[in-house]
């Protein structure tokens, strides 16, 4: 969906629930993926993503179009909700609890299935280790690293989402990656 189509859809969503539903359908997977990567918990990601869209729906009438993608608005709400979640639950370490597999086992041999499961477990463990290192970073570094490397956002998009200048975002990325490397070297599990 291009920016003009999105603008029209957002305008319609102010009075039409079906139009908001289209926005929801378009952005739910992206916001959920972002929150999941930040929290590493499927249940927490579901809760936070639901809260993001509830808040977006409640405030859509006050939303002013500024030629910025609606997704930036949603990411900003998501970031706020994640921050609030960490503030409320400082003692909780979010861990991903499960990997959803939709593959149906049919003609797959036991050895092939075992190899696939082991590979999935290895990826899951690497994700958890990386996540544990990322959450040790200050919050602002977590934001920019996840947006850039997990969400594949351009620097310009990150600037819009975080409301920061390009130089600031680049600096935060650089410093955050240096700090992340130090943390990863200290853990030496990779």
Residue 119 pLDDT: 67
Could you count the other beta carbons within 10 Å of the beta carbon of residue 164?
17
- Which residue, 94, 117, 137, sits at the end of a domain? 94
Determine the pLDDT at residue 65: 87
Same-domain status, 180 and 104: yes
Q: What are the pLDDT digits (tens) for 80-136? A: 998 887 666 543 444 333 333 333 333 445 456 556 656 666 676 777 788 888 889
Check whether residue 115 and residue 39 sit in a common domain: no
Report whether 20 contacts 28 (CB < 8 A): no
- What residue numbers bound the domain in which 130 lies? 99-190
Which regions in the chain score pLDDT beneath 50? 90-108, 110, 190
For position 41, what pLDDT does the model report? Answer: 80
For residue 31, which of 49, 19, 44 has the smallest C-alpha distance?
A: 49
Task: Pick the last residue of a domain from 94, 109, 140.
Answer: 94
Q: Do 163 and 87 sit in the same domain of this protein?
A: no
Which tokens go with 174?
């650089």
């Amino acid at each position: 969906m291009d920016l003009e189509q999105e603008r029209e859809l957002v305008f319609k969503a102010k009075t039409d629930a079906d139009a908001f539903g289209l926005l929801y359908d378009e952005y739910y997977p992206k916001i959920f993926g972002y929150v999941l990567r930040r929290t590493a918990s499927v249940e927490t990601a579901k809760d936070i993503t639901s809260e993001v869209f509830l808040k977006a729906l409640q405030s859509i009438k006050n939303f002013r179009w500024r030629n910025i993608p609606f997704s930036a608005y949603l990411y900003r709400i998501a970031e706020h909700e994640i921050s609030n979640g960490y503030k409320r639950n400082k003692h909780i370490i979010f861990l991903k609890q499960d990997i959803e597999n939709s593959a149906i086992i049919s003609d797959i041999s036991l050895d092939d299935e075992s190899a696939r499961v082991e590979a999935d477990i290895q990826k899951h463990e690497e994700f958890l280790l990386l996540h544990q290192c990322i959450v040790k970073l200050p919050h602002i570094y977590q934001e920019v690293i996840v947006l850039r490397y997990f969400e594949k956002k351009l620097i310009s998009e990150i600037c819009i989402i975080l409301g920061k200048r390009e130089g600031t975002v680049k600096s935060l990325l650089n410093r955050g990656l240096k700090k992340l490397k130090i943390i990863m070297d200290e853990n030496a599990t990779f």
